Amino acid sequence: MSIFGTMKTAVSGMNAQANRLGTVGDNIANSSTVGYKRSSTAFSTLVLPSTQGSYSSGGVETNVRYSIADQGGIQYTTSSTDLAIQGEGFFIVSDPNGTPYLTRAGAFVKDATGFLKNTAGFNLMGYPYGTNPPAAVVNGFNGLEEININDFGMVSSPSTAGSFPANLDKGAAVVPGPNRPGANAATAVITNKSSLTAYDHAGAKVLYDFYYTKATVSPDTWEVSVYRQDQSTNGGFPYTATAPKVLVQQTVTLAFDPNTNKLTAASPKAITFVDPNDGATPAQSIAIDLSDMTQFATAFTPGKGIIDGNAPSPITDVEIGGDGLVTAVYQDGGRRPIYQVALATVPSIDNLLPQNGNVYLPTNDSGVVTIGFPQAGAFGQIYSGALESSNVDIASELTEMIESQRVYTANSKVFQTGSDLMDVLINLKR
């Protein structure tokens, strides 16, 4: 037996417990860090060859393990850009150099330039939302962009479709053709009229007048005509436009079933008109659904007019759904999907490599990164207005600390005893 070997074994044990105490210290220090995953120290033996009658003490080595796959508790906040993941997956973020990382730290705040940045300074990434939902690039970070809210700060969209139902009085008088609004004459007889506000390509409000006129009885038919209100003559007929402006005018004839007093199967169900006066290409075309029109023996009753499009309006807030869809909320109440947050995972989550800022990099041991969307496949759900707490249990860490202290002390006693034996040997020569 080597006394020096025994002392070295004791030093190995003390170093191992110092490493263990280091992980405990990290865990306690980060117990309030959003999305932090605790580390722990695992021990394994170091064995030296021994001969018969002589034992050679070895030592101990440590390996740090990370409990990255363990879910932390969800705590709710008052910020809509605070994000937490319930289930598997990591947010994809980037540093100032554009390098992508994985993280569970979702305390994002919009900075002065519009990026969603977490407390460590990493920007949240996602796929831009175009006319169609984006598709994830499952085996790489291609196509991901840093989410920037300011890029959508002032937008408008032209009206293209809407609905404008009404009940037309079955007992209304028939108006001769030359006097119907569809003829656009000064002698037009107005039976019923209502108006609907739409938006052009520049976001300007445009008011359209709708006229409803009984055309025939048996079968019951009505003419519906639409004009642009600012082209009227003193608020009435005729409607005119001076070049280069173009007159907006369209008429359809609706036919009603006398048994149901609803539109017949052969009747038109919509009125579509073109307004090229904002100069956009192609010209603005608006289709108004009339399929819910009725003809009962009661007064003219216009329903609630609904139309798409919106005026220029700044973003006041963003909403992030459980599926990762980032929706811009505008001052006028309009909403527009702008990004899709993606999540990433690896086959061996606990073998990810931790980096500064509570982020992770994939390694050969962790496996290849797979990217997808929240609530799809194995990926978890995103909670907006919530944060994932660290998975550190303070009581367990304090217990680990006490145990580490005791074992460190015991190893020091082994070292001290070996040192005393060495003193005995040295004193034999004196």
Residues 290 and 124: their CA atoms lie apart, in Å, by 44
The CATH code of the domain that includes 192 is: 2.60.98.20
Q: Checking phi first, is residue 309 left (phi over 0); if not, alpha (psi -120 to 50) or beta? A: left
Which ranges of the chain have pLDDT less than 70?
1, 131, 153, 430
**Block residue for tokens 């030093």:** 11
Q: What is the pTM of this model?
A: 0.69
Structural domain including 34 reads: 3-67+391-429
Residues 136 and 121: their CA atoms lie apart, in Å, by 25
User: What is the helix (H) or strand (E) element at residue 410, kind and residue range?
Assistant: helix 394-429
Q: Count Cβ atoms below 10 Å from residue 290 Cβ, excluding itself.
A: 21
DSSP character string of 323-380? T-EEEEEETTS-EEEEEEE-EEE-SSGGG-EEETTTEEE--TTT---EEE-TTSTTB-
Amino acid found at 47 = V
Q: 304 and 168, same structural domain?
A: yes
Amino acid found at 44 = S
Q: Tens digits of per-residue pLDDT, 52-85?
A: 777 778 889 999 999 999 999 999 999 999 999 9
**Block residue for tokens 């937008």:** 155
**Block residue for tokens 């025994």:** 6
Q: 168 and 28, same structural domain?
A: no
Q: 414 and 344, same structural domain?
A: no
Nearest to 202 by CA among 286, 312, 276, 277: 312
Predicted confidence at residue 1, as pLDDT, reads 55
| Last residue within a domain, chosen from 308, 326, 348 | 308
Supply 345's token pair.
């995972």
Residues 204 and 278: their CA atoms lie apart, in Å, by 9
| Last residue within a domain, chosen from 256, 291, 308 | 308
Predicted confidence at residue 430, as pLDDT, reads 65
Q: 300 and 163, same structural domain?
A: yes
| Last residue within a domain, chosen from 248, 274, 308 | 308
Q: 299 and 176, same structural domain?
A: yes
Decide if 225 contacts 213 (C-beta within 8 A). yes
Q: 318 and 300, same structural domain?
A: no
Predicted confidence at residue 427, as pLDDT, reads 85
Q: 376 and 395, same structural domain?
A: no
Residue 74 lies in a domain: no
Q: 336 and 288, same structural domain?
A: no
Q: How many domains does the chain have?
A: 3
Residue 73 lies in a domain: no
